[in-house]
């Protein structure tokens, strides 16, 4: 740890600096500093202020909470850092004053961040509690107390307005507590954060010219070749209407017969809702002969191979932590939509990344996937109201320490969540059966197949087959939703879940009513995203 390099940021960054410094350069500098010194509350505080100014309010709230926790707990590591870099004179009176200022400022920042984009009404209560703590600490400092009371008045007004809105809501109107909130993120591209290093050295940085695009195309086709998929190929091309947009798809390299297998891929990750107690926790098969982990005796596997593979990839991190995972299992079991199972993906992927020391976004199955993003020209990103609670619960389940916070930062969690939202495949048993099983798979290459309401392929577990004869050079597609639904319903579902308004040949040929604007699709999307999230609050 180079203390001299940390010294410039071991103070409160001024408003003038935030206005004049390059925001992304400052973000990178603070992040590098946090990598070497994750117990330094002022680094988290300054990054939170910067993120709030940049419009990433949900990430700012996470950073602000970390600053608050570090200053309130004052661990030995935090005290050591502050004594070297922050406290100016180590006498009792000065230490008391500077500690009080630091704690008061972090509480204030936390209250600001939690109410910048309040995901639920409880965010106002959390902010008000933080401000109460600030007033207690700053009781001897009139300026700080007045500052807290001014923000407190604004937060109370916001909270009152929200409660009135909930009280006066008419039947059928979206419920505030279960409604996704929108954050405008003008600097995000294709669902990726602007500081996403993996994307910077991956696809985005390699599509500036035709030669780079061809090199990227070769990488994808090499991956297909390793799967033995010799009949199909990936093609990248620039959009005819938006020159900076890249279109990609899988195409037939030769004529294909109906019902002909074209791709077989083993799932990178599989999860199930654990309702059948005999379901394998690695491959989701219902076990004929049950094996259990010899250490924790809780995880169930169908074979010695699955037990060994799980132990080598992720289970050692989760072994013995069932009581931390179980609340997420119960939450998943209460869901009724596809995204409801995502929390169990998150636990397994976080554990996999931690155990193998692989960056989360570079795990097999994730590294070439694209996250959900708004339709072209729209910069409003959906934030489900349960995201903060889910993130915290996953960190707890995997036992993420402060030294690992940046490896599992909130923006990485958000990116992976949106990847899963539009790329997982699921299968269900019959809902009337109380023990019905929900299984879900994540593939890499199969996820590259684009949508058509009249697709020419079918995806059945690990295999892709043609539905009809396919011409050489024809794109492979399959229906992301039931093709027998009315056109308007199909388009609303696709817009809400995947972020595009379908204009496939089937939709163009269908003379029925289509989707008008984005409002109806948004409402369905709220229910799609949030049905599982109702009641999952931060005070449980």
Q: What is the mean pLDDT of residues 186-196?
A: 86
Q: Using one digit for the tens of pLDDT, what is the confidence trace for 279-316?
A: 899 998 888 889 999 999 988 999 999 999 999 999 99
Count other Cβ atoms within 10 Å, centred on residue 39.
Answer: 21
pLDDT of residue 207: 56
Domain span including residue 33: 3-168
pLDDT of residue 524: 29
* Kind and range of the H or E run holding 262: strand 261-264
Euclidean distance between CA atoms 377 and 501, whole angstroms: 13
pLDDT at 6 over 80: no
What are the start-end ranges of the E strands in 326-433?
Answer: 380-383, 424-428
Euclidean distance between CA atoms 353 and 330, whole angstroms: 24
Number of domains in the chain: 1
Is residue 510 domain-resident? Answer: no
pLDDT of residue 213: 78
pLDDT of residue 536: 36
Higher pLDDT, 294 or 529: 294
pLDDT of residue 255: 97
Is residue 436 domain-resident? Answer: no
Whether 1 and 37 have beta carbons less than 8 Å apart is answered as yes
pLDDT at 526 over 60: no
pLDDT at 123 over 70: yes
Out of 67-71, 258-262, 491-495, least confident range: 491-495
Out of 185-199, 391-405, 442-456, 510-524, least confident range: 510-524
Is residue 144 domain-resident? Answer: yes
Task: Return the closest-CA partner of residue 227 out of 439, 467, 448, 425.
Answer: 448
Euclidean distance between CA atoms 51 and 350, whole angstroms: 24
Out of 50-54, 133-137, 367-371, least confident range: 367-371
| Distant-in-sequence, close-in-space partners of 406: CB < 8 Å, separation ≥ 6 | 31, 34, 35, 38
- Tokens representing 192 are 């990726």
pLDDT of residue 209: 66
Band of pLDDT at residue 152, cut at 50, 70 and 90: very high
Is residue 115 domain-resident? Answer: yes
Q: What is the mean pLDDT of residues 432-447?
A: 74
pTM, whole model, 2 decimals?
0.88
* Kind and range of the H or E run holding 67: helix 57-73
**Which of 66-75, 92-101, 504-513 is predicted most confidently?**
66-75
Count other Cβ atoms within 10 Å, centred on residue 457.
Answer: 26
Out of 11-25, 122-136, 424-438, least confident range: 424-438
Unique residue bearing structure tokens 């999952």: 536
| Distant-in-sequence, close-in-space partners of 426: CB < 8 Å, separation ≥ 6 | 338, 341, 438, 439, 440, 441
pLDDT at 128 over 60: yes
Task: Return the closest-CA partner of residue 406 out of 37, 22, 158, 4.
Answer: 37
Q: What is the mean pLDDT of residues 467-488?
A: 90
Is residue 13 domain-resident? Answer: yes
pLDDT at 137 over 60: yes
Q: Residues of the chain with pLDDT > 70: what percent?
A: 86
Q: Using one digit for the tens of pLDDT, what is the confidence trace for 347-405?
A: 999 999 999 999 999 998 898 888 888 876 677 888 888 999 999 999 999 999 999 99
Band of pLDDT at residue 530, cut at 50, 70 and 90: very low
Q: What is the mean pLDDT of residues 158-180?
A: 88
Higher pLDDT, 194 or 526: 194
pLDDT of residue 483: 78
Is residue 20 domain-resident? Answer: yes
pLDDT of residue 3: 59
Q: What is the mean pLDDT of residues 448-457?
A: 92
- Pairing assessment for the beta strands 477-478 and 450-451 based on DSSP bridges: parallel
pLDDT of residue 238: 62
**Which of 71-80, 327-336, 490-499, 504-513 is predicted most confidently?**
71-80
Question: CA triplet 431, 432, 436: central angle to 5 degrees?
Answer: 50
Euclidean distance between CA atoms 234 and 444, whole angstroms: 13
* Partner residues linked to 451 by β-bridges: 478
**CATH code assigned at 27:** 1.25.40.10
Is residue 83 domain-resident? Answer: yes
pLDDT of residue 539: 38
pLDDT at 185 over 90: no
Whether 58 and 383 have beta carbons less than 8 Å apart is answered as yes
Count other Cβ atoms within 10 Å, centred on residue 125.
Answer: 15
Euclidean distance between CA atoms 176 and 169, whole angstroms: 9
Is residue 509 domain-resident? Answer: no
């Amino acid at each position: 740890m180079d203390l001299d390099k940390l010294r410039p940021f071991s103070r409160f960054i001024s408003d003038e600096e935030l206005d004049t410094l390059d925001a992304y350069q400052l973000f990178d500098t603070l992040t590098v500093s946090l990598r070497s010194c994750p117990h330094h509350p002022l680094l988290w505080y300054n990054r939170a202020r910067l993120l709030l100014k940049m419009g990433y309010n949900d990430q700012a709230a996470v950073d602000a909470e970390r600053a608050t926790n570090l200053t309130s707990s004052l661990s030995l590591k935090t005290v050591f850092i502050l004594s070297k870099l922050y406290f100016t004179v180590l006498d009792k009176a000065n230490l008391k004053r500077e500690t009080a200022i630091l704690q008061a400022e972090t509480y204030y920042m936390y209250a600001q961040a939690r109410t910048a984009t309040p995901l639920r009404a409880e965010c106002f209560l959390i902010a008000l509690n933080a401000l109460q703590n600030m007033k207690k600490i700053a009781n001897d400092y009139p300026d700080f107390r007045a500052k807290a009371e001014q923000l407190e008045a604004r937060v109370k007004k916001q909270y009152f307005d929200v409660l009135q809105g909930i009280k006066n809501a008419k039947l059928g109107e979206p419920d505030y507590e279960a409604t996704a909130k929108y954050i405008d993120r003008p600097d995000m591209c294709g669902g990726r954060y602007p500081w996403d290093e993996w994307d910077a050295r991956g696809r985005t940085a390699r599509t500036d010219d035709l030669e780079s695009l061809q090199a990227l195309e070769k990488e994808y086709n090499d991956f297909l070749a390793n799967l033995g998929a010799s009949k199909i190929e990936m093609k990248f091309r620039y959009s005819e209407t938006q020159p900076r947009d890249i279109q990609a798809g899988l195409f037939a390299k030769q004529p294909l017969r109906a019902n002909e297998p074209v791709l077989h891929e083993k799932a990178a990750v599989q999860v199930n809702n654990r309702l059948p107690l005999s379901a394998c926790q690695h491959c989701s098969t219902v076990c004929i002969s049950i094996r259990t982990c010899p250490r924790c005796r809780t995880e169930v596997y169908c074979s010695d191979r699955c037990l060994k593979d799980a132990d080598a990839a992720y289970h050692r991190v989760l072994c013995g932590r069932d009581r931390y995972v179980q609340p997420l299992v119960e939450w998943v079991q209460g869901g009724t939509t596809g995204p409801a199972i995502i929390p169990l993906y998150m636990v397994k992927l976080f554990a996999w990344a931690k155990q193998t020391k692989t960056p989360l976004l570079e795990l097999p199955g994730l590294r070439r996937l694209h996250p959900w993003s708004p339709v072209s020209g729209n910069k409003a990103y959906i934030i489900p109201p349960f995201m903060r609670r889910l993130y915290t619960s996953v960190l707890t389940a995997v036992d993420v320490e402060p030294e690992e916070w940046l490896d599992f930062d909130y923006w990485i969690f958000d990116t992976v969540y949106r990847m899963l939202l539009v790329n997982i495949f699921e299968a269900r048993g019959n809902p009337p059966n109380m023990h019905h099983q929900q299984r879900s798979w994540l593939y890499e290459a199969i996820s590259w197949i684009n949508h058509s309401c009249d697709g020419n392929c079918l995806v059945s577990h690990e295999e892709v087959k043609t539905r009809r004869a396919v011409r050489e050079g024809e794109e492979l597609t399959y229906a992301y939703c039931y093709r027998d639904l009315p056109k308007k319903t199909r388009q609303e579902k696709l817009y809400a879940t995947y972020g595009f308004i379908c204009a496939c040949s089937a939709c163009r040929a269908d003379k029925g009513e289509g989707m008008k604007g984005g409002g109806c699709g948004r409402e369905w999307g709220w229910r799609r995203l949030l049905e599982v999230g109702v009641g999952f609050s931060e005070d449980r």
